[in-house]
Amino acid sequence: MNKTLRKLLLGGPYMVWIAAFIIIPLFTVVYYGLTDKTGAFTVSNITAMGTPERLKALILSLILSLIATAICLIMSYPLALILTKMKTGATGFIVTIFIIPMWMNSLLRILAWQTLLERNGVINQILGALHLPKQYMINTPYAIALGMIYDFLPFMLLPIYNSLERIDPNVVNAAYDLGANRFQTFWKVIFPLSLPGVISGITMVFVPALTTFVISDFLGGSKVLLIGNVIEQQFTQVGNWNVGSGLSLVLMVFILISMAVMQHYDKDIGERTTIL
Amino acid sequence: MSTKLIDLQNITKSFDGNLVLDDMNLYIRENEFLTLLGPSGCGKTTTLRIMGGFETPDKGRVIFDGQDITSLAPNKRQLNTVFQKYALFTHMSVAENIAFGLRIRKKSEDYIRDKIKYALKLVNLEGFEDRTPDSLSGGQQQRIAIARAIVNEPKVLLLDEPLGALDLKLRQDMQYELIRLKNELGITFIYVTHDQEEALTMSDTIVVMNQGYIQQIGSPEDIYNEPQNAFVADFIGDSNIVNGTMIQDKLVEIFGVRFACVDTGFGNNNPVDVVIRPEDVELRLLPDIDSGDQEKYDEAVRKITRVNPGYFEGTVSHIIFKGMHYEIEVQSHGFEWLVLSTRMFPVGSRVLMSVDPFNIQIMNKPASEAEMAVTMDEHL
C-alpha cells in the first residue's frame, strides 16, 4: 500500500508530463486532422495533401532532407573516426568546436547564412570585389540543403562519435589478430558496431530536416516551399487547423516509415555482416 | 632441448617517456606453457602485445620461428590472442565469431562448419552456435574467445589475463580446462597474469617480472622453493622477509638469534634477505611465564633446540580460520610473522617459533632493479 503510494508519487510528475505534452497534443492533432470545422468526421484533411503544390512540397522536403542526411553522414563518419583515434585532449577540443554553434539560437545561425548568401550578401560582395560574376544562391533548394546540413551536422556527429568511442579497442585488435586487414576490420567489425550511432544520427537529422519550416523560410524565401512551410501556413496564415493537422498526420506517417526502416536495419546487423 | 619458437632480443619499450621494458631477453620454446607473472605495470602485457604485433618495440627484435617479425602487422602473424574481457564481436552470433578468422582466410563453408563444431566441442559449449555473446555468462564468453582463436590453428596462443573477470570457482575450473586444451592442441601457450596461484597451477615455465625487468625464470617449483630475490619470494605466495646477517656458511643471524641453514657462498658477516614461508614456521605453545612453571618452559625450549638451536619467542596477535589451516600473526622482535598452522593458538598466547634449516632461504640484498634482472641464459 505504502509502496504503491510512493511509486505513484515518484512516477506521477512523469505521467502528468507525458499526458500534458505528448498524449494530449498528439490526440488533439489526430482529432483536428480527422474532423472538419463543425467537428464531424472526415478524411478530406488527409486527402488535402493530394494537390500538386503540396505534393511537390512534400517530395522536395523528402529529397532535400535525404540529401542533407546523406551529406551529414558522409562528413561526420570520417571525422568521428579521426576523433576516436586522437589523444583525449585534442578530441575534447574539436568536439567542443562542433558543439559551440549549437549553443547559439538556431534562428540566428540561419539568419547568418542568409546574410552570407543574399544577392548583395557577404559572399557576393567578395566576388564583386574580385570582379567575379555574382552567384544566385539564396532562395534555392541548394541554400536550404546547406542550411540543413549546417544546422544538423552536430546531431549526426555526436551519436556516431559516441558509438565509435564505446567500441573496446581490443575488439578491433581481435579482428586484426584473426587475420583481417584494415578494410575488412572496418566493414566487418567497426562499422556494424557503430550502426546504432549511425541510425540515431540519421533519425536525428532526417526528422527535423523533413519538418523544418524555419530554414526554408529564411533561405528559400517564398520561392521554395517545403511541406513544413505548407503546414505552417495552414496554422498561421490560413487559420485552418483541420487541414494543418491532417497534413501533419501524413508527414508523421513518413517519419514513422523512415524510423521503421532504420529499426529494421538495426536488427539486421548480424545477418548483414555475413553477407558482406 | 626443443627449439626456440619465439625469441625476444633486447626489447626496449617506453610509453610517453615511461620505460616499460628495458633491454629484455626472453625465449619461448615450442609447446611450452609459459606464464608472464607480475604486478600491474610490470610490462607483462606489453611483452604479450609486442608478440601479438599490437605494439612495436623501440629497440630490439622479435624472432618467430627463425624469422624477424618485429614490424610485421598482427594480421600477418601466425599467432592468435585471447584478450582481456573476451573482446567478442557482439554484433555476431557465436558461430560467426568463431568463423571470423576462417572466413577471412576464405575457407570453404563445409570446412568452417566442421571447425565450429570441433571448436565448440573442445570448449564444452556444443549447440551454442546461434547464441549471441550477450546471452552468455563470463565463463562461456571466455570459452568462445578461446574457440575463436584456436580454429585458426595458430602455432602460439597468447592469453592476456583471460580469467581475470571470472569468479574464483570458475577460474579454478578454467585453469584445468586450459591445461587440457593445451595438451589436446599441442601448441604453445603464452599466458599473462598477476595471479601467482594461476601461474603455479598451469605453467611449465614462469617468468616473474617487475618494473620492466625479468626477476626470475624457472619452473613453478623453482620459483616457489628457490626464489632468487625478495621480490619473487614476496610475490609468489606469502613470505616472511626479514633482514639477516650471514655469519658464515650455513649460519645466519636474524634479530640477534642464530639459525642453522643450508645456504653457502654468501660470505661472512654479510647483510642478506632471509625468506621464510609461513607454512615452514613451526609453533609450540609456551606455558604462561608468569605462572612460574619454569620446568615446562625449559622443556618446550629443549624440544625445539634438539633439532635447531635457533628459536624466537612471540605472542599471537591475530588468528583467522581459513578452512584447511589457521592463518596466525605472531609478534616477535618487533616483526609481525605470518604463520600457517593446522593447530589453533588463542590470541595472546605465548609461542616458540622455529624453522627447519632447509626452509630458510638466504638471498643477497639487491643493489638496484637492473642488478635484479636476469636473462634466461644465465638461469639455464
Cβ–Cβ below 8 Å for B100 and A180: yes
Strand boundaries in chain B, DSSP class E:
4-15, 18-29, 33-37, 59-64, 67-68, 79-82, 156-160, 188-193, 205-210, 213-218, 240-248, 251-254, 257-260, 270-276, 281-285, 312-321, 326-332, 335-341, 350-355, 361-364
B4-230+373-379 is a CATH 3.40.50.300 domain: yes
Cβ–Cβ below 8 Å for A192 and B132: no
Fold of the CATH domain B238-364: OB fold (Dihydrolipoamide Acetyltransferase, E2P) (2.40.50)
Q: Does B75 touch chain A (CB under 8 A)?
A: yes
Kindly state whether residue A33 falls inside one of the protein's structural domains: no
Cβ–Cβ below 8 Å for B91 and A193: yes
| Overall number of domains in chain A | 1
Cβ–Cβ below 8 Å for B100 and A175: yes
Kindly state whether residue A71 falls inside one of the protein's structural domains: yes
β-pair partners for A160: none
In a 3-state reduction of DSSP, which class is residue A41?
A: strand
- What pLDDT shows up at residue B372? 47
ipTM for the predicted complex comes to 0.78
pLDDT bucket at B307, cuts 50 / 70 / 90: low
| Most confident listed range (A176-180, A255-259, B308-312) | A176-180
Kindly state whether residue A21 falls inside one of the protein's structural domains: no
Contact list in B for residue A273 (CB cut-off 8 A) is 91-92, 96
Each domain of chain B, given as residue ranges in start order, spans: 4-230+373-379, 238-364
B310 versus B102: the higher-pLDDT residue is B102
What number is the average pLDDT over the span A66-77?
96
Rounded to a whole number, what is the distance in angstroms from the first to the last CA of chain B? 11
Q: Does B54 touch chain A (CB under 8 A)?
A: yes
Q: Please write the tens of the pLDDT for every residue from B128-176.
A: 999 999 999 988 999 999 999 999 999 999 999 998 878 888 888 889 9
Q: State which residues form the domain around A191.
A: 52-275
Q: Does A46 touch chain B (CB under 8 A)?
A: no
The angle at the Cα of A57, spanning A52 to A61, to the nearest 5 degrees, equals: 145
* B188-193/B33-37 β-pairing: parallel
Kindly state whether residue A259 falls inside one of the protein's structural domains: yes
Q: Does A176 touch chain B (CB under 8 A)?
A: yes
Q: What residues 108-147 of chain B have any CB closer than 8 A to a CB of chain A?
A: 132
Query: From the list B81, B90, B93, which residue is nearest A177 (CB)?
Result: B81
- The fraction of chain A above a pLDDT of 90, given in percent, is 57
Cβ–Cβ below 8 Å for A173 and B84: no
Please check the confidence at residue A119 and state whether its pLDDT lies above 90: no
Chain B residue at shortest CA distance from A267: B91
Kindly state whether residue A38 falls inside one of the protein's structural domains: no
> What's the CA gap between A151 and A215, in Å, rounded?
9
Q: How far is B202 from chain A (nearest CA, A)?
A: 24
Cβ–Cβ below 8 Å for B88 and A171: yes
User: Average pLDDT, whole number, for chain A?
Assistant: 88
pLDDT bucket at B309, cuts 50 / 70 / 90: confident
- The fraction of chain A above a pLDDT of 70, given in percent, is 96
Cβ–Cβ below 8 Å for B83 and A174: yes
The CATH number that applies at residue A152 is 1.10.3720.10
- What pLDDT shows up at residue A182? 93
- What pLDDT shows up at residue B202? 93
Contact list in A for residue B74 (CB cut-off 8 A) is 173, 176-177
CB B378 within 8 A of CB B282: no
Cβ–Cβ below 8 Å for A270 and B100: no
CB atoms inside a 10 Å sphere around CB A196: 17
Residue in B89, B93, B113 to test binding to A, most A beta-carbons within 10 Å: B89
| A1 CB-near residues (< 8 Å, 6+ apart) | none
Please check the confidence at residue B21 and state whether its pLDDT lies above 90: yes
CB B232 within 8 A of CB B379: no
What number is the average pLDDT over the span A216-223?
86
In a 3-state reduction of DSSP, which class is residue B15?
A: strand
Q: Does A89 touch chain B (CB under 8 A)?
A: no
pLDDT bucket at A273, cuts 50 / 70 / 90: very low
Kindly state whether residue A12 falls inside one of the protein's structural domains: no
> What's the CA gap between A234 and B128, in Å, rounded?
58
CB A5 within 8 A of CB A16: no
Q: Please write the tens of the pLDDT for every residue from B281-304.
A: 989 888 766 666 677 777 777 777
Q: What residues 89-108 of chain B have any CB closer than 8 A to a CB of chain A?
A: 89-93, 96, 100-101, 104-105
